Structure 1
Amino acid sequence: MGVMAAAASAAGSDALVERGELKITQQEFSDFFEVAIPADARAEILQDETRLRRTLAEYYVLRQLDVEATEAGVDRDPVFVKQLNRQRSEMLARFYLAELARKRNPDLAKLAKERYIDKKASFAVPAEVDASHVLIAINDERDEKAALARAQEVLAKARKGEAFDKLAEEYSDDPSAKSNKGDLGFFQAERMVKPFADAAFALKNKGDLSEPVKSQFGYHVIRLNERKPGRQKSFEEVQAQIEEQIGTELSKTYIEEELNRVRGYDVKINDEALKAFQKQEAQAK
């Protein structure tokens, strides 16, 4: 009986899957879901029945192998026990440190507001433009003078009213022009090389055309399609983001402080026992 068939047989109870002695209850799967699935992925999985069923099926496989391994006595294998103890210590220590950090309970809202005021400029949204261009490359077959003349030809045709997208398809040496017809979409100034960005952002009105502008790629004729002015994000827009960032930073700081506290304990090492261990392990190898 497949996993989904087994799940169907459990209808009417709180069991999601039953097979022999193995029963996966809603609570068990919920616990697994909480600790194994990243928080930002849970909502997506819960809204997608196919993914939810696949997650349940994968958990069933894990649990079934757990049952079989236990029946085979693998849980009593000395190597497994050693690894389990080590992992338990690591997990317990990490959980303990996280809990100590959480109990510090800083006022994240207050700290976030202070950071927002101090670094307000970093929460500004830069201006963007949507522009199209025709690129005339300078290459072995076309020197700079010929490239400029061809760019001026394109500009003259555009000023006479020829469709800019058609000109881009016909003239542009930008490989993407065949698919985007020269339209680069919205971009911030920092995304483009400076001569191009300066010329594009200097255009004021929809449909404005630039004079040919030279960049490392050749000559560009640029058409402005639309502008989006820059704006300052409000504190409310970014509060959650800042609080999460500060919380992560403080948690790391607190954890490091706790680690240093324990590292600072006055611990005496038994040198003779350590040498005996060293010798014993070297001989065992």
Structure 2
Amino acid sequence: MKKIISSLVATLAITSVSLNAADYYASVNGDKITKADVALVLQDPRIDFSKLPKNAQKQVLEQIINKKLLAKQAIKDGIENDASYKDALNKMKQDLAFQVWQKNEIEKHKPSDSEIKKFYDENKSNFVVPMTLKASHILLEKESEAKDIIKQINKASNKQAKFESLAKTKSIGPTGKNGGKLGEFPATQMVPEFSKAAQNMKAGSYSKSPVKTQFGYHVIYLESKKKGKSLSFNEVKGNISQMLIGNAYNKSVKEISDKLRKTAKIVIK
């Protein structure tokens, strides 16, 4: 928070209201201090003004009061005739014009519920959460090495602990030092041969034969497996709406921009 001005001229005519008021917190010569004024001072949406200590609330309001008074005085002194003021105001007007136009343009492209449902029905395959696996592996160059690793795990009483120990000392993969742990991942993330083998395993088991991929021979330990599922319409309705709005808006902006650029004099240095 910026430095808060703590002094306040005692003769100011200020009408204070409840700090929890719905519309405004105070007024200066009839000019209301709103939530928007407070938000500009706090500059952090995570800060809840109503939960600040009373003295902190008072300091924020005092800063806003001084700002409003000084701004009014600047206008009386003729600041609106200052060249830098005019330049800044012109830029603000352009930015504001674009923001309001953008908001209005987005409103034009809001899809109906039937349009959203139609998109969902035509693209159901895109709204599927794949099976999730949590696994570890030991990667070796030769099939014979992988078979030997499996024999050692077969003989161990604590097979998972043995697997992790062998991964740290035998695996040529980058995860070897961490016991071969790959963490949790979508089944489709891995190369097909690895994914197919892992998906066909039971949680808490290891591959009884080496799994060959382009990287070498893997011995896989599957910790857990979560089934994939199709997302319901209600789960993705909001996302589809935003996507359709974005697509329509971007298309509209491109068409309008392309048309305007044809008659504009553009110089890029």
TM score, norm. by length of structure 2: 0.64
- Paired residues in the alignment total 238
In structure 2, what is the Cα distance between the partners aligned to 1:75 and 1:66? 16
TM score, norm. by length of structure 1: 0.61
Q: What is the deviation of 1:255?
A: 4.2
Q: After superposition, where does 1:108-127 map in structure 2 within 5 Å?
A: 108-127=112-131
**Per the alignment, in what secondary structure is the counterpart of residue 246 of structure 1?**
helix
Q: Contact conserved, 1:98 with 1:251, CA < 8 A, in 2?
A: no
Correspondence for 1:207:
205
Q: Contact conserved, 1:133 with 1:221, CA < 8 A, in 2?
A: yes
**Per the alignment, in what secondary structure is the counterpart of residue 3 of structure 1?**
coil
Q: What is the deviation of 1:116?
A: 0.3
Which among 94, 106, 118 is matched to residue 89 of structure 1?
94
**Per the alignment, in what secondary structure is the counterpart of residue 184 of structure 2?**
strand
In structure 1, what is the Cα distance between the partners aligned to 2:247 and 2:18? 41
Q: Contact conserved, 2:150 with 2:219, CA < 8 A, in 1?
A: yes
Correspondence for 1:167:
163
Q: Contact conserved, 1:130 with 1:224, CA < 8 A, in 2?
A: yes
**Per the alignment, in what secondary structure is the counterpart of residue 222 of structure 1?**
strand
**Per the alignment, in what secondary structure is the counterpart of residue 132 of structure 1?**
strand
Q: What is the deviation of 1:238?
A: 0.5
Correspondence for 1:176:
175
Which among 187, 190, 213 is matched to residue 189 of structure 1?
187
Correspondence for 1:139:
none
Q: What is the deviation of 1:192?
A: 1.7
**Per the alignment, in what secondary structure is the counterpart of residue 95 of structure 1?**
helix
Correspondence for 1:277:
none
The root-mean-square deviation of aligned C-alpha atoms, in Å, is 4.7
Output one character per residue of 1:210-254: Cα deviation in whole Å (capped at 9) or x when no partner. Answer: 422233443321022222222111101111111111122223334
* 5+ long unaligned stretches in structure 1: 7-11, 137-143, 275-285
In structure 1, what is the Cα distance between the partners aligned to 2:61 and 2:214? 55
**Per the alignment, in what secondary structure is the counterpart of residue 205 of structure 2?**
coil
Q: Contact conserved, 2:198 with 2:220, CA < 8 A, in 1?
A: yes
Q: What is the deviation of 1:115?
A: 0.5
Give the 3 Å change call, closer, same or farther, for CA 249–105 of structure 1 in structure 2: closer
Q: Contact conserved, 1:127 with 1:188, CA < 8 A, in 2?
A: yes
Output one character per residue of 1:111-143: Cα deviation in whole Å (capped at 9) or x when no partner. Answer: 11011001110001112222221223xxxxxxx
In structure 2, what is the Cα distance between the partners aligned to 1:247 and 1:237? 18
In structure 2, what is the Cα distance between the partners aligned to 1:94 and 1:119? 32
**Per the alignment, in what secondary structure is the counterpart of residue 209 of structure 2?**
coil
Correspondence for 1:28:
36
* 5+ long unaligned stretches in structure 2: 8-15
